[in-house]
Amino acid sequence: MATLGNTNITTSMSGDASQPIAFNESGLIMEVFRATGGTTSDTHVIVPRFITDIRSVVAGLAVTDDLVATNVETNVTLTIEATTATTEHFDIWVFGRR
């Protein structure tokens, strides 16, 4: 089990270094992270820049998360469920509130 690296690409997508991506329909904001693949049980620790209350996480890879619906979460750990090549990259979408 290893902790893998990831990169917050939110501001390069939004075009404004001081703003997250708006997800207006729900009143939430979104941050996007680019991460590498790994082996089963490897983890990605996601720490958003703008979000202080994580409500949901969607990943382009089979993962589980440690979010608790009744808690205010400021970071999330994703555990890879199926081995993927470390040369592959996938995106992680984090939704929450400021």
Q: What is the pLDDT of residues 19-65, one digit of tens each?
A: 888 777 678 999 999 999 999 999 999 999 999 999 999 998 899 99
* Mean residue pLDDT across the chain: 91
pLDDT at 15: 80
pLDDT at 19: 83
Is beta strand 43-46 parallel, antiparallel or unpaired with respect to 3-4?
A: parallel
pLDDT at 27: 82
Q: Residue holding tokens 């720490």? A: 47
| 46 neighbors 6 (Cβ within 8 angstroms) | yes
DSSP H or E segment with residue 21: strand 21-23
For residues 69-76, average pLDDT: 94
| pTM of the predicted model as reported, rounded to 2 decimal places | 0.89
What is the Cα–Cα distance from 37 to 46, expressed in whole angstroms? 14
